[in-house]
Amino acid sequence: MRYIHEREHLDAVIPTLDSEMMNFISIRSDLETLGIGILIPTEGQFEKRSKVNLSQLADECGVKTPETNLMTDLNQIAAMSF
């Protein structure tokens, strides 16, 4: 980012891919020191909206959502009651 900033003078960066978000979160203060604005959530906010935590976030916001079950093994489907 420093290399690009030195040549292009970035005013701001707005990451859009979940896969790159944690990298930008980890360098947020470095970018701000360079004078590059960044529009991203905090690490806590980013984790809160992950699929694993989405039902809890919806409950906190008063949004109705279907029941969610986290599956880490195909055999867990047999144990589900529908």
Question: What is the pLDDT at residue 2?
Answer: 92
- This prediction has a pTM of 0.68
The b-or-e profile of 20-37 (16+ CB within 10 A means b, else e) is: eeeebbeeeeebeeeebe
pLDDT digits (tens, 9 = 90+) for 3-34: 999 999 999 999 999 899 999 999 999 999 99
Q: Exposure of 70 by Cβ count < 10 A (0-12 exposed, 13-18 middle, 19+ buried)?
A: exposed
pLDDT digits (tens, 9 = 90+) for 31-58: 999 999 999 999 999 998 888 888 888 9
Question: What is the pLDDT at residue 82?
Answer: 63
d(C-alpha 77, C-alpha 75), whole Å: 5
What mean pLDDT is predicted for residues 48-75? 85
Q: Does position 69 have pLDDT exceeding 80, yes or no?
A: no
Question: What is the pLDDT at residue 32?
Answer: 95
